[in-house]
Every structure is written in structure tokens, then in C-alpha cells.
Structure 1
Amino acid sequence: MDMKLELVAVPVTDVDRAKEFYVRAGFHADHDHTVSEEVRFVQLTPPGSACSIAIGKGLTTMTPGTLDNLQAVVADADAIRADLVARGIDVTPVDDQPWGRFVYFSDPDGNRWSLQQLPDWSGQAAGE
């Protein structure tokens, strides 16, 4: 039986500020619905992802800024870094590790993201 992760709640203090940030970072704004005075649901999807994030009001009891290391895989760490910088997103330099190349950024509340370019394992067996 398959289990497909499709939505992760990201706790934020200011829904409009967070939505603007993620849209500027290239996420697609899928939905923005105010259900009641207590509930607003905003769904955003990173380009090419099957999993979306949800920000809003009344969605989670997590403290804003407490998500540490939401991770997405990218084809090219240098290219995604350049794209995010061009969009006005504060990102780290590319961090080269044996298990991949990483770029890190945080949303306005401090929820941290890691973008990983997987290593090219084609010339060796996994685990070497």
C-alpha cells in the first residue's frame, strides 16, 4: 500500500508576509481560503514537487519558526542558488558535502529549508 506525503504544515506568524515570501521564492500559490475568522488555509507548492506546504491561521499548534530542515531535492545547487538570489531570497553559499551539495534559507519566521543536489553515484556502488 502506497503512502504519499502531500502536505506539510509550516507555522507562521503573518500569513500574508509568508505567502509573499514563498511566492517570491518560486512556489505556486494553489489555494487561499478563509474558512472562518479562526481558519485560513493557504497551500503553496514548490516547482516540480508532489508535496505542498500549508500556511495559515488555525492549521497547527506548532510555534512559528520551529520547523528545522525542510528538505527538497534540486538538480543543480548553483542554479537554484542563483535563481533564489535573483528573486531576493537570502540564501547561503553552496555547501559541498560527500552526500550532496546544499543551499540553505529561512522563511521570515525562521523555518529553515535545505535544498540538496544529490551526488552523482553513477561511477561507484552506493555506500562507497
Structure 2
Amino acid sequence: MDWKLEVVVVPVVDLDRAKHFYAEQVGFGLDHDTRLGEHGRVVQLTPRGSGCSIVLGAGIPQSAPGSLRGLQLVVDDVAAARAELAGRGVDVTEVRHLGGDGTWASGPGEPWNSFIFFEDPEGNSWTVQERPAAS
């Protein structure tokens, strides 16, 4: 039996601002924006090429806005991902790698050791990691 992670709930206060950030700035595809009764609403977005989506919601149980830490995306080219995010107005770090002494250093590292970081407007944090190209 496969166990697939398909949805992560991202806690936010302002659904419209978060929807704009993830769809227009980060570039996630908008799957749906659905009203649930008078006070409920669910917005689902999916990163390009991902089998896992995020859900932003009102009227659904969730953690405190900004409390989600360390969500991680994996890309083939972290420098290109950084350029795309920065070009869309996302406040994203420079490329970093984890040094041998356990601290972050500037620039790319060895395979699997190049990262960028950003936060959404609510303070939820994301990591983008470069993976080696398939041989």
C-alpha cells in the first residue's frame, strides 16, 4: 500500500492575500477556490510538478497563522528557482549551503546541499532544496 502526502494545510488569516502570494508570486497553480456555506472557504493550490497541494482555509481547523515551519520544495536548479521567485517579488534569500561546521554559508554546496528560503505574508516558512539531476 502506498502512503502519499497530498495536502498540507497552511494556516493564514487573509485568504485573498495568501492566494495572491502563492498563485501570482510563487507560481503555484490554483486548483480551486470554494465557498463552504456562509463562513467557510477553501483555496487549494499545487506547485508545478508536485503530487502534493496546499490548502488555505477559513472555517476549517488549523494551527495559528505563521506557525508552519520548514515546508520543503525540491527543484533541479535552485539558482533558477531563486531568480523566478525574486522576479515575481518574493523576498527570497541568496543560495546557501550547510557548511561542515553546521552553519549556513553563502553559495551552492555539493549535491543535495544548496538551499533558498522564503516566508509567506503570514510568516509560514519555506525551504527550496536543489537535488542532483538524474543520471
- On the 8 A contact 1:10/1:53 being kept in 2, the answer is yes
Aligned CA distance change for structure 1 residues 120 and 48 (closer, same or farther; 3 Å) = closer
- On the 8 A contact 2:74/2:129 being kept in 1, the answer is yes
Deviation, 1:58, is 1.7
Give the letter for the 2:19 counterpart.
Answer: K
- On the 8 A contact 1:27/1:46 being kept in 2, the answer is yes
Partner of 1:20: 20
How many residues in Structure 1 have an aligned counterpart in Structure 2? 122
CA distance in 1, matches of 2:62, 2:7: 16
Deviation, 1:100, is 1.5
What SS does the aligned partner of 1:13 have? coil
- On the 8 A contact 1:100/1:119 being kept in 2, the answer is no
Task: Please say if 1:112 is aligned against 2:117.
Answer: no
What SS does the aligned partner of 1:79 have? helix
- On the 8 A contact 2:115/2:128 being kept in 1, the answer is yes
4+ residue runs over 6 A deviation: none
Deviation, 1:119, is 4.7
CA distance in 1, matches of 2:90, 2:9: 21
In structure 1, list runs of 5 or more residues that go unmatched.
123-128
- On the 8 A contact 1:9/1:54 being kept in 2, the answer is yes
Q: Could you tell me the percent identity over the aligned residues?
A: 52
What SS does the aligned partner of 2:114 have? strand
- On the 8 A contact 1:11/1:66 being kept in 2, the answer is yes
Give the letter for the 2:67 counterpart.
Answer: T
In structure 2, list runs of 5 or more residues that go unmatched.
99-109
Give the 5 Å matches for 1:24-103.
24=24, 25-97=26-98, 99-103=112-116
Aligned CA distance change for structure 1 residues 100 and 36 (closer, same or farther; 3 Å) = same
CA distance in 1, matches of 2:92, 2:44: 23
Give the letter for the 1:60 counterpart.
Answer: P
TM-score by length of 2: 0.85
Deviation, 1:39, is 1.4
CA distance in 2, matches of 1:118, 1:93: 17
Deviation, 1:34, is 0.6
TM-score by length of 1: 0.89
